[in-house]
Amino acid sequence: MKRSRDRAASELFAALYPRLAGWCRRLVDDDETAHEIASEAFTRLWARWTSVEEPRGFLYVTAANLVRDHWRKVERERRAMRRATTEAAVRPHTEQSDPSVRLLVQSLPERLRVPILLHYYADMPIREVSVLTGRKEGTVKADLHAARELLRVHLRRSLDPTL
């Protein structure tokens, strides 16, 4: 039993790790971090192996959450660096809006962020996103639409603060 479980986990790893790590790489823009996130997602899957019904969905949702945590950490470090630089310069620093799509996606609520990451960053069809998230296809489509609208509004605002 344990041998077949190990073999199944090994086959799943061989089949999914390269794509998952590549997806993470596009999101975090760093090979080492991407591999750490993908490895951590597999480690968490292995810890729950017997209770996870959809391993692929579990991996991608877990990786999406780990990517979000990484983005938050990077943003905290960026703010701390900005503060330190500003204090060292002893002059007011005008905070520029960062219209980065990555930061805007990061700011979305999880309900909208996960479908965006799976559909647009992992190139999964809506049907597959529906299965992985346990939501109906219509709900996924509505969430994608709502997320695109929020992103559009935020992007416009960040480019033109008078809006």
Q: Please, what CATH class does the domain formed by 96-162 belong to?
A: mainly alpha
Q: How far apart are CA 1 and CA 60, in angstroms?
A: 26
Q: How many helices (H) and strands (E) does the chain have?
A: 7, 0
* Predicted local confidence at residue 1, as pLDDT: 65
Average pLDDT of every residue of the chain:
84
Mean pLDDT for 33-46 is 95
pLDDT in tens, 76-122: 877 777 766 665 554 444 444 445 777 788 888 888 988 988 888 88
Q: How far apart are CA 140 and CA 126, in angstroms?
A: 7
Q: What are the start and end residues of each CATH 1.10.10.10 domain in the chain?
A: 96-162
This prediction has a pTM of: 0.59
Kindly list the distances between the CA atom of residue 39 and the CA atoms of 15, 63, 134, 161, in Å, as whole numbers in the listed order: 14, 9, 24, 40
Asked if pLDDT for residue 3 goes beyond 80, the answer is no
